[in-house]
Amino acid sequence: MKAAVLGAGSWGTTFAQVLCDAGTPTVLCCRRPEIADAVNGDHRNPGRLPGVPLPPALTATCDPAQALAGADLVVLAVPAQSLRANLAAWAGAGLLPPGALLVSLMKGVELGTCSRMSEVIAQAADVPARRVAVVSGPNLALEIARRQHAATVVACTDDRAAEQLQEACHTAYFRPYTNHDVIGCELGGAIKNVIALAVGIAIGMGLGDNTRAMLMTRGLAEISRLGEALGADQRTLSGLAGLGDLAASCSSPLSRNRAVGEALGRGSSLDEVLASTTETAEGVKSSQAIRELARKHGVEMPITEVIAAVLHEGLAVNQAALLLAGRPATRER
């Protein structure tokens, strides 16, 4: 197996490291030449993973054609909202190897279409669902890059393809589990970002552990309700790709979405927060698409509704807290 990882952010670079450590020859495709030079020359990506040595076997390029040539695994690690345009360009240029498994590392929902990333891939690359896989779980990039123990889920409707991906990224510190439930894995990964934003806002406002636990628990209920409406397996949502990913993103200061929420809770504007980071917090834009998806299916998601309003409609964070606290008491399902 040979892999191409398209996107040299922290998670794309880390997953490229994992593939190399698992014995899978891997090329990392970077947008900026200086990153490719640092990976090839110094075996580092200092802007994304400072202080982390990368495997000498990992090579990098800025040429998608060079990266994709002969790849069996095409791993997509670009921002969710730019996926369709990027993939359409690569496919339109005939760069995608026939028969390659297309693997999504992205945890978002597309604005406008409300499509999950696997759906965007299948449409933009014109491939059947069995050729699309997703990787999702409690995967904070810096910890994994430091080779701290972690687990994830690799999901595909084709069992053999999932097993091939599992073998390609299984290392002593990174344990992948296979799953059939692509829908559940993607919804868990996307919606937890919105809940992590809410938890971050609460932390920034000085609220305590009870509030965090409430948001996480009721956030899991929102994930489960939308998952049920879209055909996800509830067992997936109680596992690594659901509860596990939610716990990591809401609990860790390494979480991009939680960090954005904290800054908002301390009084910064969204424009100020986004201008201060080079990493993508997918929940910021996906919150609108997830809210629209929930409304289309008649699913009640009050935390998601409020966070989307804070981010995109000018709702003040203190008013958001009052709206959530003022909801009528009801029966826990």
Tell me the average confidence (pLDDT) per consecutive run of 10 residues in the chain, 333 residues long.
Answer: 97 98 98 97 96 97 98 98 97 97 98 98 97 98 98 98 98 98 98 98 97 97 98 98 98 97 97 93 98 98 98 96 90 81
What domains can be seen in the chain, in order of their start residue?
Answer: 3-180 (3.40.50.720), 183-325 (1.10.1040.10)
Interatomic CA distance for residues 166 and 179, integer angstroms: 10
pLDDT for the residue numbered 331: 87
Contact 81, 108 (CB under 8 A): yes
Question: What residues contact residue 222 under an 8 Å CB cut-off, 6+ apart?
Answer: 191, 195, 294, 299, 300, 301, 302, 303, 304
List the structure tokens of 322: 């009052």
pLDDT for the residue numbered 170: 98
- Whole-model pTM: value is 0.97
Q: Which of the residues 2, 107, 192, 296 is marked catalytic?
A: 192
* Alpha helices, H only, 43-154: 64-68, 83-92, 117-125, 141-145
pLDDT for the residue numbered 332: 86
* Active-site residue flag, 192: yes
pLDDT for the residue numbered 159: 97
